[in-house]
Amino acid sequence: MGWGTRLCLLGGLALWAQRRRAAAAAAPERRDRELELKLVQVVFRHGARTPLQPLPGASPVEWHPTLLHVPARTKFDYMVTDLRGGPQPPSPDEEHYRKITFKGGALAGQLTTVGMQQMFALGERLRRSYVEEARFLSPTFKPAEVFIRSTNIFRNLESTRCLLAGLYQQQKEGSVVIVTDEASSEILYPNYRNCQRLECLSRRKLKDALQQPGISDDLKTIKEKMGIDDDTDVDFFLLLDNMRAEQVHNLPSCPVLKDFQQTVERRSVDSLLFLLEDGSREVLQMSVGLLFYTLRKNITEAVDPSAPAEKARKLILYASHDSTLIPLMVALGTFDRKWPPYAADVTLELYQHQQSKEWFVRMSYHGEERVVKGCKAGLCPLQEFLQVLSQYSVSPEEYNSLCSQTEGNQQTDS
């Protein structure tokens, strides 16, 4: 074979390979154009807040009520009901926070101006994605399109308000209703009130975590340097909570916490994973099983709607907590071992292919696509995604059964 022929052949092969690469690169884009968005579910953490309780031994940071000013653009009228449309239930959590006043006058666990702005920004991001780019949601709030549920804690209700203000730019048709539940039956966080077994397991496992080499040594060192007595009840979660809150508001944080920032964050994650990754899926089932059951139900209803209301619904919002997002992501195999920041969100998008009529789910965290375990790519065939959910999803009856078991008869399936 002559050099000319060889060069022509090589040139032809190179051109063919280039075209193949171009076609491969265009395939996902073409596939995405053929996908029709059917449902969006967003599980999000509230915005920045005051700490949940002060740190003993440290020079107290001043939290002034001026840090809780409501920016005009975040205002959005709403009403709160129980799950059946009745009056808002009482909130024992909020009653507890109102008994804790920080130096400066602000109460514990309250959404701040910074947090309101964070949630407004999340709403604006959702608007860009689903109103402006996908043209999926109406630019004005319409009750038939949106279902909103929140834990019955004021910072979460107010965070939802700010998100909606950003998403709909304060434009609405009809009333905005946020539904919530009694604290004793809440599913949007691991519920120690109605699952005694989870409460006992968590207390024991977290106590064991603090005895682990490294974790116990680091905690002892930090407490000593902060002047906190060894027998004073302080864990890494309390340290992280105060440290994160002070940092995001640019308040003067304890110098020791600044020096040990990475250690506090790492050990907080280590301690919680010691509980969640205990070789049994039951802790995750008791933590987020009912939420998974609800997410799965929402998806199956959207795939085969039996009522006009289900067909009209496009967006479902769940205002939750960091204690919700971590076990949720651990169960889905997407946790990056970093504590979720304020206003973090996990979003599930349900698509149908216009030609094949196949269904797919895409998960994102902070607006970035994540590959769920058991799925080969970010865009996951529906049945594969539901298979992952089914490992941890539990019905109310199954949840009650799990929670009523004693340590002597617990199962150990992994």
- pLDDT, residue 211, reads 86
- Are the CB atoms for 274 and 208 separated by under 8 Å? yes
pLDDT at 346 exceeding the cut of 80 = yes
Range in 84-98, 114-128, 203-217, 310-324 the model is least confident about:
203-217
Beta strands in 127-245 (DSSP E): 146-150, 177-180
More confident call, 13 vs 216: 216
The residue type found at 23 is A
pLDDT at 408 exceeding the cut of 60 = no
The residue type found at 283 is V
pLDDT at 381 exceeding the cut of 90 = yes
Range in 71-85, 100-114, 277-291, 390-404 the model is least confident about:
277-291
- pLDDT, residue 406, reads 75
How many percent of the chain have pLDDT more than 70? 90
Give 111's contacts (C-beta < 8 A, 6+ positions apart).
46, 47, 48, 49, 68, 154, 155, 158, 159, 162
Number of DSSP helices (H) and strands (E) in the chain, helices first: 14, 9
pLDDT at 68 exceeding the cut of 80 = yes
Mean pLDDT for all residues in the chain: 91
Q: What is the set of active-site residues? A: 46, 322
- pLDDT, residue 45, reads 98
Q: What is the pLDDT of residues 178-193, one digit of tens each?
A: 999 999 999 999 999 9
- Are the CB atoms for 152 and 93 separated by under 8 Å? yes
The residue type found at 176 is V
pLDDT at 414 exceeding the cut of 50 = no
- pLDDT, residue 253, reads 83
- pLDDT, residue 10, reads 53
Structure confidence at residue 231 as a pLDDT band (50, 70, 90):
confident
* Distances from the Cα of 263 to the Cα of 219, 242, 259, 284, 330, angstroms: 9, 14, 9, 25, 21
- pLDDT, residue 212, reads 85
Structure confidence at residue 308 as a pLDDT band (50, 70, 90):
confident
